[in-house]
Amino acid sequence: MNGGNELEKKVKIAVMVSGGGTNLQAILDAEKSGILRSGKVSLVLSNKASAYALERAKNAQVETAVILRKDYASQREYEDAMIDLFTQKGIDLIVLAGFMNILSSHFTDTYPKRIINVHPSLIPAFCGEGFYGLRVHRAALDYGVKVTGATVHFVNEIPDGGEIIAQKAVEILPGDTPEILQRRVMEQAEWILLPQALETVSKSYC
Ligand code: GAR
């Protein structure tokens, strides 16, 4: 425990991404502005070589890595490659920020209460296997709910089933499309909630 003493070591964070990386950007911006001060993004790992999130990491001088599922014979070997990398880099905390791959209990049990995910709905609505990205917002609009939002939670072996850390509600408005709603949920919830939750969890591991 360092009681927030900035001279002491920060928690080393790895962010796992698959796409645009706007949540990664929110975390990097939070580090710059001081909202995130107990942790430091040390590594960005993508399961897609073309993910724009990798550019965002490079622009922020953060080390990047790409590990592709297809390069491994089994899910276990794929996950072991990621675990080996995180061990080698001394990673303390992992953030799934738009990481579009389900991780098995082999991976999640290696990091109890040390993996955080952001999901674009109010869990337990519109979550679990098959609910990711725009699909979540399409499902919310199809159902006709009037309020949605975002959830930050710890990751366990159940997709979107780990302990909830923080949630924020966002209104659904007439004329919303999945794209419009996705943007509003990001702006009003995800990009605020994720860095704040990350600071809270990082602080608890300092
Ligand atoms: C975000 O909306 C995130 O909540 C969602 O994918 C988007 C990634 O955007 N994640 C999931 O649906 C996971 N189940 P980003 O790459 O710009 O951060």
Give pLDDT tens digits for 17-74: 999 999 999 999 999 999 999 999 999 999 999 999 999 999 999 999 999 999 999 9
Residue whose C-alpha is closest to residue 162's, from 102, 202, 98, 85: 102
CA 67 / ligand 1 centre spacing (Å): 19
Q: Which of 17, 22, 122, 168 to mutate to test the pocket of ligand 1 (most atoms within 8 A of CB)?
A: 22
| CATH code where residue 141 lies | 3.40.50.170
3-state secondary structure at position 184: helix
What token pair was written down for 113? 């209460």
3-state secondary structure at position 65: strand
Q: How many domains does the chain have?
A: 1
190 lines ligand 1 (CB under 6 A): yes
Q: Which atom of ligand 1 is nearest to the CA of 97?
A: 18
46 lines ligand 1 (CB under 6 A): no
Rounded Cα gap, residues 124 and 122, in angstroms: 6
7 confidence band (pLDDT: 50, 70, 90): low
98 lines ligand 1 (CB under 6 A): yes
CA 118 / ligand 1 centre spacing (Å): 7
Residue whose C-alpha is closest to residue 117's, from 149, 165, 172: 165
Q: Which of 23, 95, 188 to mutate to test the pocket of ligand 1 (most atoms within 8 A of CB)?
A: 23
133 lines ligand 1 (CB under 6 A): yes
pLDDT digits (tens, 9 = 90+) for 96-144: 999 999 899 999 999 999 999 999 999 999 999 999 999 999 999 999 9
- Residue 24: per-residue pLDDT: 98
CA count, 13 A, side-chain hemisphere, 78: 17
74: Cβ contacts below 8 Å, ≥ 6 apart: none
- Residue 1: per-residue pLDDT: 47
CA 44 / ligand 1 centre spacing (Å): 15
Query: Is the full-model pTM beyond 0.75?
Result: yes
| Domain of 199, in residue numbers | 2-205
Query: Whose Cα sits closest to atom 16 in ligand 1?
Result: 21
Q: Which residue has the tokens 């070589």?
A: 49
Q: Residue 79 burial (CB < 10 Å; 0-12/13-18/19+)? A: buried
Residue whose C-alpha is closest to residue 197's, from 8, 35, 12: 35
Rounded Cα gap, residues 172 and 27, in angstroms: 25
Q: Which atom of ligand 1 is nearest to the CA of 17?
A: 16
- Residue 18: per-residue pLDDT: 98
What token pair was written down for 60? 């922020």
- Residue 8: per-residue pLDDT: 67
Q: Which of 46, 47, 190 to mutate to test the pocket of ligand 1 (most atoms within 8 A of CB)?
A: 190
Active site residue 137: no
What token pair was written down for 79? 């996950």
β 11-17/93-96 pair status: parallel
Q: What are phi and psi of 16, to 5 degrees?
A: -100, 130
Rounded Cα gap, residues 197 and 206, in angstroms: 14
